[in-house]
Chain A
């Protein structure tokens, strides 16, 4: 069975602090894909990143970075120097064949 766990329900940080959102997944497959989505207060779901199971290279995109570790089945997301616009709910997801499995999300509040 596939499962994604985001243990952090809510996080609050002060602007300019760094914050890491945790994601732990479960799957028996050797081929799978992991994703992060952002849902700002306006409600739409925005794709942030995709990572396949064969590529454990960390990725950096501006203030965002992702740390994929197969040994611990984790795909963590770090925001550096957080900004108020980063306030949103963030979802981690696992794609197994034709289905996507989502975690319950982490609500991030960045306090100015």
Chain B
């Protein structure tokens, strides 16, 4: 009954360090997404993927990179972390359905603090 799993759940980084957030889903969903949530700003899309081997930029992609080498995994990388990237990160997946009706299934979130 895993659904969407994010690791790690918490991380503290120093400015300039790099890290990777891993998202794994076991629902065989085609679409996967990375969002960040900041107070008063709702959920903003960073990058997304419509299938294995494909990625696309969302609303706030700068400073992040992603990869989708396997259908079930979607990695979010920060090459050189900045304090502005302190946020809660959510991964989500969505099934491919007729007329695009699928809703988003979210992971539990990953809280990242950059000092």
Contacts and interface: CB of A to CB of B under 8 A. Distances in A.
> Do A and B assemble together?
yes
Contacts, number: 55
B109 A44 contact: yes
Contact of A104 (B35, B42, B94, B104): B42
Contact of B31 (A33, A37, A47, A98): A98
A98 B40 contact: no
B33 A45 contact: no
Interface string B83-95: 0000010101010
Residues of A in contact with B, size category = 20 to 34
Residues of B in contact with A, size category = 20 to 34
Interface string A34-59: 01010000011101001010000000
Contacts of B50: 98
A87 to B, nearest CB: 17
Given A9-B40, A104-B41, A43 B108 contact: yes
Please report whether the interface of chain B is mostly helix, strand, loop or mixed according to DSSP: strand
A31 B41 CA distance: 26
A4 B31 CA distance: 21
Given A33-B100, A52-B99, A102 B42 contact: yes
A20 B33 CA distance: 29
Contact of B40 (A43, A97, A104): A104
A61 interface: no
Please report whether the interface of chain A is mostly helix, strand, loop or mixed according to DSSP: strand
Given A43-B109, A98-B50, A52 B41 contact: no
Interface string A75-112: 00000000000000001010101111111110000000
Contacts of B48: 98-99
Contacts of A101: 45
Interface of B: 31, 33, 35, 40-45, 48, 50, 56, 58, 88, 90, 92, 94, 99-101, 103-106, 108-109
Interface of A: 6, 9, 31, 33, 35, 37, 43-45, 47, 50, 52, 91, 93, 95, 97-105
- Nearest 4 interchain pairs by C-beta: A104-B42, A45-B106, A102-B43, A102-B42
